[in-house]
């Protein structure tokens, strides 16, 4: 099974590169975040014609929104109302073999890494705490599960272009990294990509639109992740960030992350 996660930053605006990815990489499952559209205007037909007729979409007007597309039948699984906000930041599916796929778009957290001064940062920390508690209470580490998405945190020093300069920047602060580690511990999740790319190597999945030449500057962060539970760990075969997609015509500022499982 080939699975790809991608923060597409508007699926309608970037539909051509979604179709390009499907044609070139041929994933069995594609998880999208920040689709920025309601269900009624999601490009259902175009994606079905591309071979992905099985779709779970949780849209939202203008921002947020997540979707899971698959070649084979999938069924909806549990998806709580995180932080009781009614926003579309999580959708989950059960595959034919029973594997559960959780697709998340964690709040970005605003600009100020202070819970008291910044409601958006408080929301992010609360969201992560609810994720941790929900998985601990409702799932077990011996269940075959995949968790993917834009988690909006670069946890390792090598997940950012400058650990020292970003320590006080939202997405790499110690309190966020600690909160994400707690989520990872909730079901003993394994970082699938770092199973293949050593933690000593720099690795990014996001580069700001603000950079005139994003590739040359290479001031990236690894915000997009694929985790698996232990039953799937030995079935991992490959994992990579498709960096070249960041340079496609009219790109998202995120690159797809791809994992192959046996």
* Tokens found for residue 11: 């699926």
Please tell me whether the overall predicted TM-score, pTM, comes out greater than 0.95 for this model.
Answer: yes
- pLDDT, average across residues 79-102: 96
* Tokens found for residue 197: 């790319």
Give tens-digit pLDDT for 177-229.
Answer: 999 999 999 999 999 999 999 999 999 999 999 988 999 999 999 999 999 99
Place of tokens 């689709």: 35
Give tens-digit pLDDT for 34-84.
Answer: 999 999 999 999 999 999 999 999 999 988 999 999 999 999 999 999 999
> Based on C-alpha coordinates, what's the Rg of the chain?
17
Kindly indicate the confidence band of residue 14, based on its pLDDT and cuts at 50, 70 and 90.
very high
- 3-27 in b/e form (b: 16+ CB < 10 A) is bbbbbbbebeebeebbbebbeeeeb
| Predicted local confidence at residue 60, as pLDDT | 95
Give tens-digit pLDDT for 218-249.
Answer: 999 999 999 999 999 999 999 999 999 999 99
Distance CA 147, CA 257 (A): 12
Q: What count of Cα atoms within 13 Å lies in the side-chain half-sphere of residue 92? A: 15
| Predicted local confidence at residue 244, as pLDDT | 98
Give tens-digit pLDDT for 1-12.
Answer: 999 999 999 999
* Tokens found for residue 261: 């499982």
Distance CA 120, CA 65 (A): 17
What's the chain's average pLDDT?
A: 97
Give tens-digit pLDDT for 137-156.
Answer: 999 999 999 999 999 999 99
Whether the Cβ atoms of residue 4 and residue 257 lie closer than 8 Å to each other:
yes
CATH 3.30.1330.20, applies to 2-261: no
* Tokens found for residue 36: 């920025």
Distance CA 230, CA 2 (A): 18
| Predicted local confidence at residue 62, as pLDDT | 87
Helix extents (H) in the chain: 15-25, 44-49, 119-138, 163-166, 174-185, 214-217, 230-233
Whether the Cβ atoms of residue 102 and residue 145 lie closer than 8 Å to each other:
yes
Q: How many CB atoms lie within 10 A of CB 98?
A: 9
Whether the Cβ atoms of residue 76 and residue 63 lie closer than 8 Å to each other:
no
Please state the domain extents for the chain.
Answer: 2-261
Hey, which bits of the chain come out as E strands? 2-7, 29-33, 54-58, 66-70, 75-76, 90-94, 100-105, 145-150, 190-191, 206-207, 220-221, 224-228, 236-241, 257-261
Q: Is the pLDDT of residue 135 over 90?
A: yes
Dihedral over alpha carbons 186, 189, 194, 196 (to 10 degrees): 170
Whether the Cβ atoms of residue 237 and residue 159 lie closer than 8 Å to each other:
no
Cα 221 from chain centre: 13
Opening angle at CA 25, ends 23 and 26, nearest 5: 65
């Amino acid at each position: 099974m080939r699975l790809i996660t991608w923060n597409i930053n508007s699926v309608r605006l970037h539909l051509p590169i979604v179709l390009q990815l499907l044609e070139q990489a041929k994933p069995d499952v594609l998880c999208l975040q920040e689709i920025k559209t309601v269900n009624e205007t999601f490009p259902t037909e175009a994606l079905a014609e591309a071979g992905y007729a099985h779709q779970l979409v949780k849209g939202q007007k203008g921002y947020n929104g997540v979707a899971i597309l698959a070649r084979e039948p999938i069924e909806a699984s549990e998806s709580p109302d995180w932080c009781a906000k009614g926003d579309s930041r999580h959708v989950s599916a059960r595959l034919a073999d029973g594997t559960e796929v959780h697709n998340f778009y964690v709040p970005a957290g605003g600009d100020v890494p202070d819970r008291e001064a910044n409601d958006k940062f408080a929301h992010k920390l609360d969201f992560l705490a609810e994720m941790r508690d929900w998985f601990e209470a409702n799932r077990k580490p011996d269940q075959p599960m995949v968790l993917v998405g834009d988690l909006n945190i670069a946890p390792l020093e090598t997940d950012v272009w400058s650990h020292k300069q970003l320590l006080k920047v939202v997405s790499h602060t110690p309190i966020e990294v600690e909160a994400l580690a707690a989520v990872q511990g909730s079901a003993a999740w394994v970082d699938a990509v770092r199973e293949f790319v050593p933690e000593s190597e720099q690795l990014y999945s996001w580069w700001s639109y603000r950079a005139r030449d994003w590739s040359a500057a290479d001031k990236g962060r690894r915000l997009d992740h694929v985790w698996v539970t232990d039953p799937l760990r030995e079935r991992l075969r490959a994992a990579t960030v498709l960096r070249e997609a960041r340079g496609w015509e009219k790109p998202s500022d995120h690159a797809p992350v791809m994992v192959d499982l046996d």
